[in-house]
Structure 1
């Protein structure tokens, strides 16, 4: 059975694919209960985790809750100029549920609705760091998408185009957009890692040896980093120019795998990974070694 399906059965409902954020009064530690994404801020100073109750922030060795509304953020993409997300409004805000597509230009303090509110909740949402192209996997038709499938927008959700996604036969597990080329998009399924160079019309397999999980393009656009699971969890990168796959170092995980990856845009040797079982790790040397900043949802400082 694929790892993500195994974890869905093994973990309580809601503990997969989102870290609910809990924080007691005073200086009590933040507990991560669920994960819907992972990203560094454009200045490289903060690592953010979208959660069921707002954003958790790791900066300068310390965890905190971000200021701003404690929405349930589903799907999460940080770009040079904005954050894009989806999900559900915090209780008492009076906002339409679900959000559809939302945007923040001030680090998540305030959010602007870009459409499809009350219609769609995009669990798989990705955007190019420099190009701003937004890709989503839509599970149900809505007023701008007449069928389920992979869609992209080049104007912040005003217009959407459906990609035929030829070569993909299973529902995507994760999605990533090239930082500069809006037509280059990658996704993972239980059958492997796939890449498209024509805005999702055709995909070719880059790796089909085992189940592929979380993925991210490197900031230079030359490689894809991805987690996978066979007999154990693995972290690898594939060079886009040659297709060469290289295994990278990673923490030892027990029946767990990499759900999300992120690279620091200003310190390119720094990477972060988050696992399905709520571990979060940082590497300062391009994936050769890793240090834990959260274990089983318990944050570490």
Structure 2
């Protein structure tokens, strides 16, 4: 009997091992990619899509707990996620749902206003201060005209940036992690930087269209994706002194970087997403890249 029990124990252990290691993680389809952030502990990469949040953690994919909203303009501070977009069916939220904030990784969301009025596809947050900037496409009850607006009190009051010197169609938006008055904007005419909450912008670098931009969490560099004849990725000091180009994995023709994010737990860990819904991860600050998603299909 003891021998029989021991064999049962061996079989049970083998089955458990196979359950963990032999079966592939179920694939997820990202119908859209509307942003890219790491969790506050740096353990998960979070990708907002058409039907909720996808998580990549410990080499596996899963759907995050919480409502399966169509999250747009997705960004985070140290202690919260912010998003705009469209509600999941049956959620009871107005469409669009304005601005939401979550402090539990997207399980629950606090309404910050503009329900049924605003859908911000471009939204950025200062990592340490929580100041939120948006590109507003149309007038609403708190924003009398289109333009760039910002709030330092979670949407209670909004201020419109004069945006003098800013030119071209906006593609990307980023806020300094500790100095919310410093904002970078990527447009079809290049990269623009303001140091006064958007009152006055100056172009830094060339006139190549900038499709993605992010501050590193030290606030010393900008990472920017550009597209001219081919996609490029570069790093630029915020004082406008060049730090040099970065490598990119092979991208499809006419594809380019759409989102960039840094891991708060490890400054050498970055992730990028492209317009064709490819997602890549680097653990050595851009020298080498691992593909996590191809054409919206997780790997």
Match of 2:268 in 1: 269
Unaligned runs of 5+ in 2: 1-23
Q: Would the aligned equivalents of 2:233 and 2:246 in 1 still touch at CA under 8 Å? A: yes
Please state whether the residue corresponding to 1:56 is helix, strand or coil.
Answer: strand
Q: Would the aligned equivalents of 2:213 and 2:222 in 1 still touch at CA under 8 Å? A: yes
1:245 and 1:193 map into 2 onto residues whose CA distance is 15
Q: Larger deviation: 205-214 or 140-149? A: 205-214
Alignment of 1:3-42 (within 5 A): 28-42=26-40
1:276 and 1:27 map into 2 onto residues whose CA distance is 24
Larger radius of gyration: 2
Alignment of 1:12-161 (within 5 A): 28-161=26-159
1:60 and 1:94 map into 2 onto residues whose CA distance is 34
Q: Would the aligned equivalents of 1:215 and 1:225 in 2 still touch at CA under 8 Å? A: yes
Stretches (4+) displaced over 4 A = none
Alignment counterpart, residue 167 of structure 2, candidates 169, 172, 177: 169
The Cα shift of 1:283 comes to 0.5
Cα RMSD after superposing both structures? 1.2
Task: Choose between structure 1 and 2: higher helix proportion.
Answer: 2
1:162 and 1:48 map into 2 onto residues whose CA distance is 30
Aligned residues: 275
The Cα shift of 1:253 comes to 1.1
Q: Would the aligned equivalents of 1:127 and 1:133 in 2 still touch at CA under 8 Å? A: yes
Please state whether the residue corresponding to 1:175 is helix, strand or coil.
Answer: strand
Unaligned runs of 5+ in 1: 1-25
Match of 2:17 in 1: none
The Cα shift of 1:74 comes to 0.8
The Cα shift of 1:27 comes to 5.3
**Pairing 1:256–2:249 present:** no
The alignment's TM-score, normalised by the length of structure 1, stands at: 0.89
2:257 and 2:200 map into 1 onto residues whose CA distance is 26
Please state whether the residue corresponding to 2:106 is helix, strand or coil.
Answer: coil
The Cα shift of 1:28 comes to 3.0
The Cα shift of 1:207 comes to 2.1
Alignment counterpart, residue 215 of structure 1, candidates 213, 216, 230: 213
